[in-house]
Amino acid sequence: MNYGKEIKSVGVGFLLGLLLAAIWLVFPLPEALAAQGESELTAKLIEGARKEGKVVWYASIGLEDGNELMKRFHEKYPFIATQIFRTGGEGMFTKVMAEARAERHLWDVLCTTPVESLLIQKKGLLAKYLSPQRNFFPEGFKDLEGYWTDLYVNLNVVGYNTRLVSAKQAPRAWSDLLDPRWKKKMGMDTRPFYWFAGMLKIMGEKKGLDYMEKLSQQEITFRTGRVVTTQLMAAGELSIGITQHNQRVEEMKGRGAPIEWVAIEPVIAEIHPVALSAHAPHPYAAKLFVDYLLSKEGQSIMAKFYRVPSRNDVDPVVPRLTTKGMNIMPFDPSIANEYEKYVSLYRKIFLSSRGKQNP
């Protein structure tokens, strides 16, 4: 063996390594720069949040889930007091706009339905914030300008009671719901407006409205809230649940309920944008909270609630609760421009007769 060549080779390698290390110190790799930038940002946010001492979250998420997220955030940053106000999308929009007109800026972070979020954004009430955590969210799940990032996604699927409907009988296309066998055996929420608008976009308005008219003739049972329909389906009072959220079906199925779901593609997804107030009373704490919600830790907590995480490096608690490999209709901002029209059409077609609606 030629030890001279080996020693020379090792020496060259050692010098090369020193050179690369020196270059790295002067010109860090992009990943290192990103980590360094994120660390410095977090330190500045913590410093500012200590002085503010509070964060207020307006959210449409379930109160139990929202409280758990705020509890975990407080455990991480005990010097920040947390407060959550929870209501549905329509109620949230009304409250936010009423406070804005009165120039009462009470909230720091908002998470509500996509249409209401967009309408609030158009009123100039949201601030841009390019959280470093946004890099882990795919296109379609974040606003390119930086106004919002999706906290979690609901997928509109068709659920069914497995004791009343076999897997072979389960609907595989929207047209299957028009089968006479399902008359008086299906349930649906009174407010799936985004699903309704999405269906008209997919089918084309004329064909879509014709389909909805035929579907309304199936004498559907209506309840306010998808969870109620899921419960009725699990109890055997309904064979099929239209516009079910798949995570709730999976959650009840995990508790032994005889229910299952099928995704009819393209699946209409409902995102839940989390955004910063343009007039946040606690801006540092607000940004820190947004970062936490979008972080791997925050998204992993969301997954434990049977929510479908949007972050690409977080797996759902049930493997099937994923958007990966699924043909999904992306969020369509144009729906917000005609939202009242879709609400009116839905109510006219399905709920105009009091005999059709069960309170």
pLDDT tens for residues 44-53?
A: 999 999 999 9
Question: Which residue range forms the structural domain that includes residue 169?
Answer: 154-269+333-351
Single pTM value for the model: 0.84
pLDDT tens-digit map of 323-350: 888 899 878 888 988 999 999 999 999 9
Same domain assignment for residues 158 and 259: yes
Same domain assignment for residues 258 and 307: no
| 55, 285 contact by CB (below 8 A) | yes
CATH of the domain at 280: 3.40.190.10
pLDDT of residue 325: 86
How many independent structural domains does the chain possess?
2
Closest among 153, 132, 131 to 275, alpha carbons compared = 131
Same domain assignment for residues 131 and 263: no
Same domain assignment for residues 251 and 296: no
pLDDT of residue 333: 86
| 148, 122 contact by CB (below 8 A) | no
pLDDT of residue 140: 87
Would 359 be classed as within a structural domain? no
Residues near 240 by beta carbon (within 8 Å), at least 6 away in sequence: 158, 159, 160, 161, 165, 171, 177, 182, 185, 186, 187, 233
pLDDT of residue 111: 97
Same domain assignment for residues 44 and 121: yes
Same domain assignment for residues 111 and 231: no
Same domain assignment for residues 203 and 277: no
Cα–Cα distance for residue pair 330/221, rounded to 1 Å: 29
Would 107 be classed as within a structural domain? yes
pLDDT of residue 332: 87
Q: Where are the alpha helices (DSSP H) in 102-158?
A: 114-122
pLDDT of residue 68: 97
Would 73 be classed as within a structural domain? yes
Cα–Cα distance for residue pair 114/87, rounded to 1 Å: 14
Low-confidence ranges of the chain (pLDDT < 50): 1-34, 354-359
Same domain assignment for residues 164 and 224: yes
Would 258 be classed as within a structural domain? yes
Same domain assignment for residues 346 and 229: yes
3-state helix, strand, coil in the chain (%, to 5): 50, 20, 35
CA angle 244, 316, 190 (to 5 degrees): 15
User: Identity (one letter) of the amino acid at 249?
Assistant: V
Distance of CA 242 to the CA centre of its chain: 19
Same domain assignment for residues 134 and 179: no
Would 11 be classed as within a structural domain? no
Same domain assignment for residues 111 and 202: no
Residue with tokens 């089918």: 203
Same domain assignment for residues 244 and 285: no
